[in-house]
Amino acid sequence: MSLMPKAVKIVEVSPRDGLQNEKQIISVETKLALINGLRDAGVKNIEVTGFVSPKWVPQLADSSEVCAGLVSDDSVTYAALTPNMKGFEKALAAGIKEVAVFTAASESFNQKNINCSIAESFERFAPIMSAAKEAGIKVRGYVSCVLGCPYEGDIDPQVVADVAKKLVDMGCFEVSLGDTIGIGTPTAAADMFRLCAEQVDVSQLALHFHDTRGQALANILACLPLGAAIIDSSVAGLGGCPYAKGATGNVSTENVVYMLHGMGIETGIDMDKLVATGRDISKALGREPNSQVNKAWG
């Protein structure tokens, strides 16, 4: 039976995933212009920054300043990455109402990315989960390397499903499945998603596919009939993980929204404004949008 959704929730990750990997310095004003452009285009969920170590990710050292400049809008959720209590406390002080913890289905990747094992990452998340509950903050969970790892190669999809379940059991309201290095193909993506949906309610699962090998849209399409209705994407295809060599941007929001609208699936996003936002940030970075739909749009 097809569970094809009628509407999809887009989680825009460009201000965080998109900009964390940039070599050049990007001003707080440029970041806020990107976030405001997305909001104006009707994007309701925006991951605005990460409260991570500035030694590890210098590009996000301005996270508190970015949050201080956010336009308050009750219809929009501004979220931020928080790897540990220190990050959570900073996010709370900055007025963030939704945070995301992140771990992986690969031990080697976790060591490189957050300097701890998968089991240790859960120990770090435990105090965040209870502090968040007390403060009324929602916690999202990420699983990286769901379709392959830059250090370990193939990843057992059962491990992905187990990690996803553990995150939900700890209190995450949603789990985002990251193909960090954009290595998966549609049948693998669908098999992995199906296995996760056996352990976690399908309404709590998000797709976070990087487009390194041009497979992201096909992989999303393979998961839609299985009930996938939350998609992470990045305007102009910005993105990449500094701890996954060769990992390029997330699937572009323009490509995803164009495909969904063409299929009669609603997103609430205005394509003209989205495209303009993708062009503005690309211009600020001195490059063409990494999105075919953006380039072809009138």
DSSP secondary structure string, 5-54?
Answer: -SB-EEEE-IIIIITTT-SS---HHHHHHHHHHHHHTT--EEEEEE---T
Q: Which of 178, 184, 227, 249 binds ligand HMG (CB under 6 A)?
A: 178
Q: Which of 18, 87, 227, 237 binds ligand HMG (CB under 6 A)?
A: 87
d(CA 3, CA 60): 38
Interactions with ligand HMG, residue window 17-76 (CB under 6 A)? 17, 20, 50-57
Judged by beta carbon distances under 5 to 8 A according to partner kind, the member of Mg ion, ligand HMG, none in contact with residue 161 is none
* Catalytic (active site) residue 116: no
Judged by beta carbon distances under 5 to 8 A according to partner kind, the member of ligand HMG, Mg ion, none in contact with residue 279 is none
Judged by beta carbon distances under 5 to 8 A according to partner kind, the member of Mg ion, ligand HMG, none in contact with residue 51 is ligand HMG
Tell me if 102 contacts ligand HMG by CB under 6 A: yes
Structure-block tokens of residue 83: 């790897």
d(CA 116, CA 73): 36
Q: Which residues bind Mg ion (CB under 5 A)?
A: 17
Question: Where is 192: in which H helix or E strand?
Answer: helix 186-199
d(CA 288, CA 278): 9
Given the complex with ligand HMG, which of 165 and 295 has the nearer CB atom?
A: 165
User: Given the rule CB under 6 A, which of 29-37, 79-87, 127-135, 150-158 is the region that contacts ligand HMG?
Assistant: 79-87
Task: Decide: 145 and 178 in contact? Cβ < 8 Å.
Answer: yes
Q: Which of 30, 111, 115, 117 binds ligand HMG (CB under 6 A)?
A: 115
Active site members: 241
Q: Under the rule (CB under 6 A), what is the footprint of ligand HMG?
A: 17, 20, 50-57, 81, 83-84, 86-87, 102, 113-115, 142, 144, 178, 180, 208, 210, 241, 243
